[in-house]
Structures are given as C-alpha cells and as structure tokens.
Amino acid sequence: MPELPEVETVRRGLVPAMEGAHFTKVEAHRPDLRWPLPKNFAGHLQGQEVVSLGRRGKYLLADLSSQEVLIMHLGMSGTFRVRHGCAETPIGEFHHPRAKPGTHDHVVFHMSNGATITFSDPRRFGFMKLIARDKLEDEPSLRALGPEPLGNAFDGAMLAQACAGKKTSLKAALSDQHVVAGLGNIYVCEALYRAHLSPKRGASTLATRTGHPQPRADALVQAIRDVLEEALRAGGTTLRNHRLTDGELGYFQHAFRVYDREGQPCMTPGCGGTVRRIVQSGRSTFYCPQCQR
DNA sequence: CCGCGGGCCTGAGAGC
DNA sequence: TGCTCTCAGGCCCGCG
C-alpha cells in the first residue's frame, strides 16, 4: 500500500522523467478516477513544463510553469510506469503485479524528453487535481495536514501535543493525517511495535506531563523515523537494482516485523509473545500483547 | 466539533 | 475448474 516511503520512492523515480520536461501530449482514458478529472485536463496540461516534483504526506505535487500545481494521489493501487525508448520501468508496483497490462491505464503523459509515463490504478482510489499555486493553502486535503514525520520539526513534544485531549486510540491517532502526514495502516503497526506501545492505548496517554520530557512520545517518534527511513532505503535499493521489473513488490514487505504476522512468534528478543490481529476502526491491527503496552 | 463507520472500487485467494 | 464470498485500506462524508 502506498504510504510515505512508497510515494517518496515513486517521486524519486519520476523526477528524471518529469522535472524540466514539458507535456507534449496527455491522454486521459476516462473522465474520472476517484473524482472527475478537471475539465479539459489533457488539453490544459499540454505544453506546460514540470518545474519540480515534490511530495507532501502521501500527495505528489508537480509544480507547473502555468503557476498551477498538479496534485496526484496513488490511493490504494495507483502505480506509474516510465518508458524511455524500449525500456519500461515500473515505479511502485504495489498491489496488482499480475493484473492485465493496459486495462487500468487511465492517464498517459508523453514528455518532451522522450519519456512516456503511464498511471495505472485498478481500484481508482487515486486522483489527479489541478490547483492554482497561490490557492494551495486553501486545498482542504493539504491545508490541515500534520507535520512530515522525517522533517526536523517533528519530535516527541509535538506528537504528544497533537495527541493531547484525543479520545481515540493511539493507532487511530497515528493513522490520522492531521496528526502526522504519511503513515498508513502498515507503518503505524510497525512503528508502534518498535516503540513497544499498544495500539489500543489511548492517544492522550502518550504525554506524561506537559512541559516535561516525553519518553514515550520520543521513543515513538524515533520508531516512526526508523521504520520510514529503512523502508525508503529498501525502495531505493530495489529501484537501483531494477528488481521491480519482474513485477515482484520487493520494497519493504519482506521486512515487516509485525504486520500480517498473526499467530507467529513475536520477533522482540526474549519476548516470547504471539502476534495478534484485532480490528480497529474497521482496519486490521497487528501487535504483540506481550511487549506492546 | 469529534469520532466512528459506511462507501467507493477491483483483484486475490479461500472454500465448496 | 469455476463460482461465490470475503478481505485488502486511503480518504471523504454523513450521522450521532
């Protein structure tokens, strides 16, 4: 599932094909993804240059020469492929590697540097949206976004503050993009596991006393940073080795310590617990009741 | 205002 | 083998 490390890996894969190039032709094979595409989406993009390709949380943001921003979201199953000459590189083959090629290719960018970029998304939870750059702050999905978990501003005090007064579980709080931007179900489970904190713990219990050191929140922030950075390194390594071309996910999925390991022994040295699966807010949570408190 | 749960959407995999 | 059913989860929105 595309969470921050996957979206960032996709961004890095797209940069050489997009930055500094302009759209020579754009194909929209259907009028909508999750939502209707902007009116005259294809025609409007043609001729514009991608000045830079950034990311905020799970959103890709292409800064265009028209003073607009192309917002792209991968949803659950969105992937890009980049073709340059004969070689085609999948960038972020997350979920449906064996799906019939072509059937869910909804948007194709032809770039002035010769690259062809294809956006494929079987479940169409992803979307693309155009917005004026000076209106970016008004964009509801971006405006209220929490801090970047790998940014300098994100620390234990900030996380504890964001969780203070919340009535919900720590799992739900970390999944809330307003608390911290970019975590999804998998990395929330993994981070809580590494920090030895129970997903069922009340979010407000993260804080100890305001204005005092926050050991639990600090440990959680460190765990979040660690797991995201490891996943990012794995994504990069996989891309460099071109191991994605066999359609195998690679990335980080083989390094999960708790996600999707129901019934298997806890990997924490000396713990001896068994990984359990519970459902929170309609989503699977994997955790070790023994060492996560 | 906040938290929860339903809906969106398709493919994979289990079970009969 | 083929059908049906459940599950996967990011995000929005409606309800209480």
- Are A93 and A244 in contact by the 8 Å Cβ rule? The answer is yes
| pTM for the model | 0.93
Q: What is the number of residues in chain A?
A: 293
Q: Is A2 a catalytic residue?
A: yes
3-class secondary structure, A91: strand
- Give the architecture (CATH level 2) of A4-143: Alpha-Beta Barrel (3.20)
Using the predicted structure, report yes or no on whether residue A244 has a pLDDT greater than 60: no
Q: What are A114-150's pLDDT values in tens digits?
A: 999 999 998 899 999 999 999 988 888 898 899 999 9
Query: Is residue A119 helix, strand or coil?
Result: strand
Euclidean distance between CA atoms A213 and A274, whole angstroms:
32
d(CA A47, CA A241): 33
Residue A101: predicted pLDDT: 63
For chain A, residues classed under CATH 3.20.190.10 are 4-143
Tokens at A69, concatenated: 């921003």
CATH code for residues A156-287: 1.10.8.50
Residue A239's pLDDT is 45
Rounded distance in angstroms from the CA atom of residue A279 to the C1' atom of nucleotide B5: 13
Nearest partner of A164 among A215, A208, A195, A200, judged by Cα? A208
| A129 annotated active-site | no
Torsion of CA A176, A182, A224, A77, to 10 degrees: 110
CA–C1' A150–B1 (A): 30
* Residue range(s) in chain A whose domain bears CATH number 1.10.8.50: 156-287
CA distance A78 to A61: 15
Strand C, nucleotides covered by protein (CB < 7 Å): 7-12
Helix (H, G, I), strand (E, B) or coil at A207: coil
- State whether residue A151 is helix, strand or coil: coil
Percent of chain A with pLDDT over 70: 90
**Average pLDDT score, chain A:** 88
Catalytic residue among A6, A11, A55, A58: A58
| Residue A151 confidence (pLDDT) | 96
Residue type, A21: A
What does each C-alpha distance from A65 to A139, A153, A217 come to in angstroms?
19, 30, 41
Query: In this prediction, what percent of chain A has a pLDDT beyond 90?
Result: 70
Catalytic residue among A56, A83, A200, A283: A283
A234 has pLDDT over 80: yes
Protein side of the strand C interface (CB < 7 A): A 1-3, 34, 57-59, 73, 75-76, 123, 125, 140-141, 175, 177, 184-186, 283-284
